[in-house]
Structure 1
Amino acid sequence: MKKKILVVDDEISICLLLENFLSKNYEVVSIHDALEALKWLEDNIPDLIISDIQMSNMDGFEFLTKLRQRGFTKHTPFIMLSGHSESKERIKCYRLGAQDYLTKPFNPEELDELVKKNLNPIHYAIEW
């Protein structure tokens, strides 16, 4: 059974890119609005969430905060995507509970490594 990844980004092109890249190895669900994603999460629990920061209706910071306040998604691994590379934004994401932060445009290989690391945190290392 493939692991499930939820992608939340209001840019359809980013969702399509992530779906295309990740769907080879994972089940990918794309939602274009954080409020819709929260509704979807009432009945579904993904193995990993990848979300943009800048979205309409609710930004990624608020989405992550609400996600961490829910019991059943409190520990779901979370990768934040952003067009900003500032350290203060990255630190804010980590303090809110994101495991990783990836700046757009991103290298698909780096994304792949972050996904593997978050889905298999202990058994991931290729060489010890």
Structure 2
Amino acid sequence: MHVIPGNLPAVVVIEDDLYMQGILSQCLSENFSPVLFDNGMDAFAYLQEGNIPDIIISDLNTPLLNGIQFLEQVRSSGFFGSIPVIILSGVENTDTKIKCLEAGADDFIVKPFNPRELAARLKMILKRAGKLTVN
């Protein structure tokens, strides 16, 4: 999908902390169209309803379906397997990062994060995936 000026890339955000949801919504709304969920199960159901976002951001520790479980579900699906996924975590642990990347994450970002850095990483991944053709 190529983005036409005025159409913002769709981002599914899975984050159970209300404060962090607000931060993510605010920092993404300028350049993206975020859809927020507080658990991976509801987000996966949203995908199964035919809603295919351009990229997904998932917190590592969410209820019902955590970030790794969600990522494994997405990667094992023929329909969703190519959607880029970024994992967010408050845990800065090399083993956790490696586990996420090996499970198919496109990036791993530690909270707290710089909103400009998050936006830059999203744009880079979308450009690499051929889903973003404008700045």
TM-score (norm: length of structure 2)? 0.87
* Mapping of residues 65-80 of structure 1, within 5 Å: 65-80=72-87
Contact 2:14 2:62 in 1 (8 A): no
In 2, the alpha carbon distance for the partners of 1:70 and 1:11 equals 27
In 1, the alpha carbon distance for the partners of 2:78 and 2:56 equals 15
Q: Report the AA paired with residue 24 of structure 1.
A: E
Contact 2:92 2:110 in 1 (8 A): yes
Pairwise CA RMSD of aligned residues? Answer: 1.5
Following superposition, the deviation at residue 70 of structure 1 comes to 1.1
1:64 corresponds to: 71
In 1, the alpha carbon distance for the partners of 2:126 and 2:101 equals 18
2:100 is paired with a residue whose SS is: helix
**Ranges of 4+ aligned residues in structure 1 off by more than 4 Å:** none
1:111 corresponds to: 118
In 2, the alpha carbon distance for the partners of 1:44 and 1:12 equals 23
Following superposition, the deviation at residue 57 of structure 1 comes to 1.6
Task: Encode CA deviations 1:67-125: one digit per residue, 9 max, x unaligned.
Answer: 1111111011111000111111000011000010000011112111111111111789x
Following superposition, the deviation at residue 35 of structure 1 comes to 0.5
TM-score (norm: length of structure 1)? 0.92
2:32 corresponds to: 26
In 2, the alpha carbon distance for the partners of 1:5 and 1:118 equals 12
2:14 aligned with 1:2, yes or no?
A: no
Instruction: Point out the more displaced range, 24-33 or 113-122.
Output: 113-122
Which structure 2 residue ranges, 5 or more long, are not aligned? 1-6
Following superposition, the deviation at residue 40 of structure 1 comes to 0.3
Contact 2:39 2:66 in 1 (8 A): no
2:88 aligned with 1:81, yes or no?
A: yes
Which structure 1 residue ranges, 5 or more long, are not aligned? none
In 1, the alpha carbon distance for the partners of 2:129 and 2:102 equals 22
2:4 corresponds to: none
Tell me the percent identity.
35
In 1, the alpha carbon distance for the partners of 2:115 and 2:32 equals 15
Task: Encode CA deviations 1:10-34: one digit per residue, 9 max, x unaligned.
Answer: 1121111111111111111001111
> Aligned residue pairs: how many?
124
